[in-house]
């Protein structure tokens, strides 16, 4: 991967602790960082100590902060992984994480936050996708205007996904609602404890719209307890530092790349004002209201005409291989 030009390696939920440490050792040897999911069968504390540079989706955080962590890990260890149906094991793992949130221990949380901060481990909560995962199919707007910028094949798959995997019964809906509130609270606690937060969206997943969902993420970060300024920095300055690009990107300074969004209202007064876009400057090129309108119309037309391969019927939507772009990347204006 290093020889092929990879910037970092991404790890996933089903890795064993032994495999994670092997990835960590090899990444260190060749000079790559590794990021991604905390493997479900190991502690987030151990993954941080191994050098995992960022942790996405808060995976593993609730188990690590549960007063019943040992019991939950024993139950997961007793659940076999069927290679023919790995999603079944993953479903059990996520259910145990929701259960862990009901026995959250603030002392154990402080221990986790201290370890993450000490190791310089970043958290990319991706609240946009976590919110989508918490909602029943009825919680999504079939008239969302952003749907018109995506091919019907993709939006049809999104509806199928939320109808098949979203909470359905009143008990399930309430359980998922409570868990998302816990995820918001966890994000705020991480920020207040000094753990660096990155704004990511995981836009391959249902109703995480490419480009647009970053605005959703910023609003959710503020709802979680970050100030509007901190949320903006998580998407710009802090993300650029994480990617090692802060000499050229991330802040508005002479000599840096001129990727800017010109807003009609102040986002520090109301974070949702990031959606009040007047113009975009992309690498020094000014894209005014008229040109942006034409660009979005072209995207809508292309979405109505284009054909894509059939989407996968199952699996994680957060990157298709070992090498992946960062979940908490620098915000690009696109057309959103």
Radius of gyration of the chain, Cα coordinates, nearest whole angstrom: 20
Can you give the residue ranges of every domain in the chain?
8-247+290-305
Length of the chain: 336
- What distances in angstroms separate CA 235 from CA 61, 74, 124, one per listed residue? 22, 37, 10
Compute the half-sphere exposure of residue 155: CA atoms within 13 Å on the CB side of its CA.
17
Domain 8-247+290-305 bears CATH identifier 3.20.20: yes
CA distance 287 to 140: 31
Relative to beta strand 122-124, strand 260-263 is unpaired
- How far does CA 282 lie from the centroid of its chain? 24
Give the residue from 67, 9, 14 showing the smallest Cα distance to 42: 14
Phi and psi, residue 104, nearest 5°: -60, 130
- The per-residue pLDDT string of the chain (336 residues; one tens digit each, 9 = 90 and over) reads 899 999 999 999 999 999 999 999 999 999 999 999 999 999 999 999 999 999 999 999 999 999 999 999 999 999 999 989 988 999 999 999 999 999 999 999 999 999 999 999 999 999 999 999 999 999 999 999 999 999 999 999 999 999 999 999 999 999 999 999 999 999 999 999 999 999 998 887 999 999 999 999 999 999 999 999 999 999 999 999 999 999 999 999 999 998 999 999 999 999 999 999 999 999 889 999 999 999 999 999 999 987 555 655 544 556 432 222 333 333 333 333
Q: Tokens standing for 192?
A: 């207040």
- Angle between helix axes 170-192 and 106-119 (nearest 10 degrees) is 50
DSSP state of 232: H
Asked if residue 24 lies in contact with residue 34, where contact means CB atoms within 8 angstroms, the answer is yes
308: left (phi over 0), alpha (psi -120 to 50) or beta: beta
């Amino acid at each position: 991967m290093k020889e092929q030009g990879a910037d970092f390696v991404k790890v996933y939920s089903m890795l064993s602790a032994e495999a994670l440490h092997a990835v960590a050792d090899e990444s260190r040897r060749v000079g790559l960082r590794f990021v991604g999911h905390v493997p479900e069968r190991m502690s987030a504390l151990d993954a941080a100590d191994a050098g995992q540079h960022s942790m996405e989706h808060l995976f593993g955080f609730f188990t690590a902060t549960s007063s019943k962590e040992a019991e939950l890990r024993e139950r997961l260890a007793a659940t076999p992984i069927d290679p023919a149906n790995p999603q079944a094991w993953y479903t059990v793992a996520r259910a145990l994480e929701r259960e862990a949130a009901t026995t959250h221990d603030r002392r154990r949380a402080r221990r986790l936050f201290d370890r993450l901060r000490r190791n310089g481990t970043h958290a990319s909560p991706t609240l946009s996708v976590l919110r989508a995962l918490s909602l029943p199919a009825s919680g999504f707007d079939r008239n969302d205007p952003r749907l018109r910028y995506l091919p019907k094949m993709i939006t049809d798959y999104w509806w199928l996904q939320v109808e098949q995997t979203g909470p359905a019964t009143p008990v399930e809906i309430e359980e998922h609602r409570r868990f998302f509130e816990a995820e918001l609270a966890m994000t705020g606690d991480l920020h207040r404890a000094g753990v660096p937060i990155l704004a990511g969206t995981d836009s391959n997943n249902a109703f995480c719209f490419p480009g647009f969902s970053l605005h959703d993420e910023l609003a959710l970060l503020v709802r979680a307890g970050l100030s509007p300024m901190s949320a903006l920095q998580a998407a710009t300055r802090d993300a650029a530092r994480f990617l090692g690009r802060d000499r050229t990107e991330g802040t508005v300074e002479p000599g840096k790349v001129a990727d800017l969004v010109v807003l009609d209202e102040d986002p520090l007064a109301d974070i949702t004002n990031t959606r009040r876009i007047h113009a975009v400057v992309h690498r020094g090129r000014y894209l005014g209201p008229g040109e942006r309108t034409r660009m979005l119309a072209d995207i809508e037309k292309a979405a109505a005409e284009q054909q894509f391969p059939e989407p996968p019927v199952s699996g994680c939507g957060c990157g298709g291989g070992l090498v992946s772009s960062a979940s908490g990347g620098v915000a690009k204006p696109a057309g959103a």
